[in-house]
Amino acid sequence: MARYYQVISADGHVETPPDPWVKYVPEKWKDRAPRLINLPDGGEGWIIEGQPLLKNGQNITGRGPIRFDFGSYYKPDGSFNDGAGGPVQRLREQDEDGVDAEVLFPPVFASRFLEGIKDPDIYRSMIRAYNSWLAYDYCSVAPDRLIGNSVTPISDIDHAVAEVEFAKSAGLKSVAFYMFPNGTGFAQPEDDRFWAKCLELDMAISPHFGFGEVRAPVGQPGAGTAGQPYASALVQRAGSHAPVYCMAQLMAAGVFDRFPEIKFYFAESNASWLPSTMFFMDDNHEIFSNAFGGRRMELTPSEYIAKHCFFSIIRDPVAVELADHLPIDNIMWGTDFPHSVGSFPNSQDFLGSAFAGKDELKRKLTLENPAAYFKLDLTKPITETPVSV
């Protein structure tokens, strides 16, 4: 019998030892690639150029127990741990958790920690290697169920645009990044080239938790955002959550006005904070406009959020209770597997409890909303999990 999407996790993470993707690094630079070492007290650590030792821990929790270090990609028998294996293992883990597909975000070693490599060509080669492996060796096994996010370099706007072009050509559906495309924490006009390219290529924009600086510069209440100090004013009383200042920068820099069709998905952000944040941002928009020469944006902050910004909840049942106060078409759900705050392998228990008596809302957050954002066809049979041998 054909299988169809029933539950989609809009937030999972790829966790893997280096060998599978380092093979795509050019031979002349392989000795500069991240490498994994066994630690004397157990578990593994990553050695990455220009960075302190990065220990496995919360990133490879799986079914637990949670560790802040001593985590391992391997079980005692040498087989891969939860979430650390190849694509077929991942499909079987989806089945175990009652999930039919996952949006997969990059591990930290394939994004932030590569910054220590200061040679831009070598740095970019590492990102290209990861994206190549993700597209060709991992997601290609079941692209309708393994929805990978490409990594974006922060070395140059030209590099960012080139990488999203490669990701699209390689078959990936979505792009992740943790700084503005210009490579800094603040919006700049040149970012428009990246936004335009993503829209041209029909790439979903999925920066995960947020991107750029998470709060306005301390001691400079009117400074910061691409010559747009208004962003700092918008987040007063409302800026304690990671995406908030990012959204304010996008509003104040006019990105939403210049690109009326653009959408940003902030995964693992949770959403129970949104009602008060939207109120305070709207209130700040009203209060502080006179301080900036009577400046008025085309829409209120809450209207921009409802039109352009999407979020996912991870173990946030409070957001379900506040559904009437949320832009509910913009909210998704995810397991965060195999990271530490996730619900694997008991996601169905969480969903049953959080959405008790709210089947229509559950369907929207776990199926309809992620399918719409990532353009997944709910009427088409999905790839079957290979039979165990």
Q: Is residue 382 part of a domain?
A: no
CA neighbours closer than 13 Å in the CB half-sphere of residue 61: 20
Q: Is residue 386 part of a domain?
A: no
The CATH code of the domain that includes 91 is: 3.20.20.140
Copy the structure tokens of residue 148: 């990978």
Name the CA radius of gyration of the chain, rounded: 21
Sequence-distant (6+) residues with CB within 8 A of 194 are: 157, 160, 161, 164, 181
CA neighbours closer than 13 Å in the CB half-sphere of residue 368: 10
Query: For the CA atoms of 86, 89, 94, 97, what is the dihedral angle to 10 degrees?
Result: -130
- Spatial distance between the Cα atoms of 159 and 152, rounded to a whole number of angstroms: 8
Q: pLDDT, tens digit, for every residue of 274-311? A: 999 999 999 999 988 776 666 678 999 999 999 999 99
Q: Is residue 331 part of a domain?
A: yes
**Secondary structure letter of residue 83 according to DSSP:** T
Q: Is residue 166 part of a domain?
A: yes
CA neighbor of 29 nearest in space, from 122, 152, 114: 122
Residue with tokens 């060796």: 137
CA neighbours closer than 13 Å in the CB half-sphere of residue 172: 33
- Spatial distance between the Cα atoms of 68 and 60, rounded to a whole number of angstroms: 10
Residue pair 172/136 in contact by the 8 Å Cβ criterion: no
Low-confidence stretches of the chain (pLDDT < 70) are 218-229, 239, 291-295, 388-389
Residue with tokens 């559950």: 362
Cis-peptide, bond into residue 52, ω within 30° of zero:
no
- Spatial distance between the Cα atoms of 308 and 115, rounded to a whole number of angstroms: 29
Q: Where is 101: in which H helix or E strand?
A: strand 101-105
**Secondary structure letter of residue 220 according to DSSP:** -
The predicted structure's pLDDT at residue 214 = 84
The total of structural domains in the chain comes to: 1
Q: Which domain holds residue 163?
A: 8-373
Q: Is residue 69 part of a domain?
A: yes
Phi-psi region of 296 (alpha: psi -120 to 50; beta: other; left: phi over 0): beta
**Number of other residues whose CB lies within 10 A of the CB of residue 75:** 12
The predicted structure's pLDDT at residue 225 = 43
Q: Is residue 389 part of a domain?
A: no
Q: Is residue 63 part of a domain?
A: yes
Q: What is the largest CA-CA distance in the chain?
A: 70
CA neighbours closer than 13 Å in the CB half-sphere of residue 360: 3
Name the H helices within the chain: 19-22, 87-97, 120-133, 157-170, 191-201, 230-234, 242-252, 255-258, 274-288, 301-308, 317-321, 347-354, 359-363, 369-373
Q: Is residue 18 part of a domain?
A: yes
Amino acid type, 109: F
Phi-psi region of 247 (alpha: psi -120 to 50; beta: other; left: phi over 0): alpha
